[in-house]
Structure 1
Amino acid sequence: MNQANHTALIVIDVQNEMLDEANPVYNSAEVIRNLRSLLSKARSEGVPVIYVQHEEGPGGSLVPGSEAWEIYAEIGPEGGELIVPKTTPDAFHGTVLHEALRARGIKHVVLTGMQTEICVDTTCRRAFSLGYGVTLVTDAHSTWSLGELSAEQIIAHHNRALRWFAKMQDAKDVSF
């Protein structure tokens, strides 16, 4: 079996709120281009694509059914691709993600999405701790600036720090 039979592409929290024209995440146009390319490649090779969708309760901005909560249409799921709802930064905690990956025989995950320092970081570390091989696509995750740290600094820092948990690759270099 080739690696593609054991690999899944995971798209974390790429929801309308993160790409709102009034306040999009850093470098959003490039991130979406890279995600579209990865999705096309994964789908053409039969690699499972799994979306993770954050949801909050009343008063939050990501309330299920709201426009902000919806997965960004340009990179949305096709033909029965799994959507895993979550309520914490960890895409595995209290969700079906681990069971869904195991049921598909997945041993390696390629991670993309939003927010670098929260959900992407936490999910990357947890996937590693659960024994998955992990690739973090360095130019297919993003965030906003936070206080004195620019989004670019946050992303660069996490791309360095998460090397202990994941193989780092640019989107153009990812092979399934």
Structure 2
Amino acid sequence: MNDFAPLAQALLVMDVQKAGVTGDRAVPSAAGLLERTADLIARARSGAALVVHLQNDGAPGSGDEPHTPGWALHLPVEAGPAEVVIRKTRDDGFAGTSLGDLLTGAGVESLAVCGVMSEMCVQATARTAVALGYRVVLPYDAHATQDIPAAPGISAAVPAAVVSRVAAWAISGDAEVTVAAADVSFAAPPHPPRT
């Protein structure tokens, strides 16, 4: 039994970029995801938690290729010491970025992770956070992905909701994944963030 209360000192918003949440390539139920993510951000700000928007720099020709319309963050950022954007080139938001140093410098011990894609960037970043000793909450209704198409001779199509659930379940022994986004509370980290 996990004794973690869903209180976070930081919110990691994974890849909520126009390519993944708008248009015909948007994740299913993108509107609900955006509403819950915006609410998490607003409550994190109100609670003086650190808010980190991770922005993926996709390959040339991809929907999230840097400086294309799909690459832009969909939700507004209130840039400042307690709200930053960190660009990344890998699924894991800690790999090759300043995320670890930022969290350590602020004394963050607990964090919430939301965004897209569940089985890729969300899971990879949450898994590394757990491995680094952070207490992690991954609200079940605040991350999303695409359906997996059928693979003839292997499996039928897998609905996005199932993919998201499996991605969270794979780390559920180490992270709180049974709470709704609305149940997550926020508090300030012990030290002012150094950006």
Residue 127 of structure 2, aligned match among 125, 128, 149: 125
**TM-score, structure 1 as length reference:** 0.91
Give matches, 1:23-172, under 5 Å: 23-72=25-74, 75-80=75-80, 81-147=83-149, 148-168=157-177, 169-172=179-182
1:174 matched to which residue of 2?
184
Gaps of 5+ in 1: none
Deviations 1:35-65 (A, max 9, x none): 1111111111111100100002423332221
User: Normalized per residue, which structure has more helix?
Assistant: 1
Measure, in 1, the Cα distance between the counterparts of 2:110 and 2:68.
32
Say if 1:56 and 1:23 are closer, same or farther in 2 by CA, change over 3 A. closer
Q: Is the 8 A contact 2:17 2:71 kept in 1?
A: yes
- Which letter does structure 1 place at the counterpart of 2:144? S
Runs of 4+ in 1 over 3 A off after TM superposition: none
Is the partner of 1:102 in helix, strand or coil?
A: helix
2:190 matched to which residue of 1?
none
> Which structure: larger Rg?
2
Is the partner of 2:113 in helix, strand or coil?
A: strand
Gaps of 5+ in 2: 1-5, 150-156, 187-195
Please give the root-mean-square deviation of Cα atoms over the aligned residues, in Å.
Answer: 1.6
1:18 to 2:20 alignment? yes
How many matched pairs?
171
Percent of residue pairs bearing the same amino acid type = 32
Is the partner of 2:45 in helix, strand or coil?
A: helix
